[in-house]
Amino acid sequence: MMLSLQLQEKTYSRTFSLRNIQMNVEKGQTMLLLGHNGAGKTTMIQAMFGLTPFTGYVSLHGEQLNLQSSAHISLLKKHVSYISDDHALFDYLTPREYFQLLQLPHEQDATREETFTDLFELSPYMDQPIAQLSHGNQKKTQIISQLLRPCDYYVFDEPTNGLDPDMMIILKKVLMKLRDQGAGILISTHHLSFGDTLYDHLMILRNGDVKLNMSRQETNETFPHQALEEIYKEVNRDYYMQVERLLNDLDTTRSS
């Protein structure tokens, strides 16, 4: 069982496009999506939810979805939670009010809400307007709001933005628990150390091209004993050779 994106073409300009990319998020597995700014990561995620036009399709558990159909969008929302790379919230509400707004009465689970607000240390701020919260607490509000409803799949686009080290560690543990309990996880991140121990499958993009698409077992065999940062640099070797040439030409000594 999986959530799948078959992106045949998404064109931005004459010089940049995404073509012939298939991304599968399997239940009980974590897919890690890496790439530089503008590589196409967020566009792929947005395509998965019908938020940007593209040529291709999305399928859920083998059923191809019509992203123009309200019934199919409702089905997608039922099975998939999406945490975007921004945290656009109804900031005139408190976190407590916001959580209540997003949940149907039969979905509300006070114990689950209390557990997540305690884990992410949001409990003291539950009755303060979101607009008055710090950037980090606003991000935690967004994350918790999408974790309250049990889903088959969780899609996170840059989930660590605004989180301190403690919260990043806790989020990683939560994601591992969700995966171990059978959920499929998709994470797009710039924090290589955050994703290093999480992924079961790794995809790396550069300028719209898939540079690597491997399972963890395959990466372990292809790049033995290498951390994710080293794998990323090896996959993007041409780029980092240019970086090294520029660094060699750099003179940071202060002239007298």
Do 170 and 142 contact (CB within 8 A), yes or no?
A: no
Report all structural domains of the chain as residue ranges with CATH numbers, in order of start.
2-248 (3.40.50.300)
Q: How far apart are CA 207 and CA 209, in angstroms?
A: 6
Q: What is the pLDDT of residues 175-189, one digit of tens each?
A: 999 999 999 999 999
Do 122 and 153 contact (CB within 8 A), yes or no?
A: no
pLDDT in tens, the chain (256 residues): 899 999 998 887 766 789 999 999 999 999 999 999 999 999 999 999 999 999 999 999 999 999 999 999 999 999 999 999 887 889 899 999 999 998 766 677 889 999 999 999 999 999 999 999 999 999 999 999 999 989 999 999 999 999 999 999 999 999 999 999 999 999 999 999 999 999 999 999 999 999 999 999 999 999 999 999 999 999 999 999 999 999 999 988 876 6
Q: How far apart are CA 125 and CA 136, in angstroms?
A: 12
Do 45 and 7 contact (CB within 8 A), yes or no?
A: no
Maximal C-alpha separation, the chain: 73
Strand 184-188 versus strand 30-35 pairing type: parallel
Q: How far apart are CA 23 and CA 212, in angstroms?
A: 12
Q: What is the pLDDT of residues 76-92, one digit of tens each?
A: 999 999 999 887 889 89
Cα four-point dihedral sign 11, 195, 27, 141: negative
Do 226 and 234 contact (CB within 8 A), yes or no?
A: yes
Q: What is the pLDDT of residue 3?
A: 98
- How many other CB atoms are there within 10 angstroms of residue 126's CB atom? 16
Q: How far apart are the first and last CA of the chain?
A: 66
Q: What is the pLDDT of residue 252?
A: 82
Beta bridge partners of residue 4, listed in sequence order: 24, 59
Q: How far apart are CA 167 and CA 164, in angstroms?
A: 5
Alpha-carbon dihedral angle through residues 156, 158, 159, 164, given to the nearest 10 degrees: 170
Q: What is the pLDDT of residue 55?
A: 93
Q: Could you tell me where the DSSP H helices lie in 31-164?
A: 41-48, 70-79, 95-102, 110-119, 135-147
Closest alpha carbon to 143 in 181, 172, 171:
171
Strand 30-35 versus strand 17-26 pairing type: unpaired
pTM of the entire predicted model: 0.93
Q: CA triplet 153, 158, 162: central angle to 5 degrees?
A: 125
CA atoms lying within 13 Å on the CB side of residue 48: 30
What is the total residue count of the chain?
Answer: 256
Q: How far apart are CA 59 and CA 165, in angstroms?
A: 35
DSSP 162: T
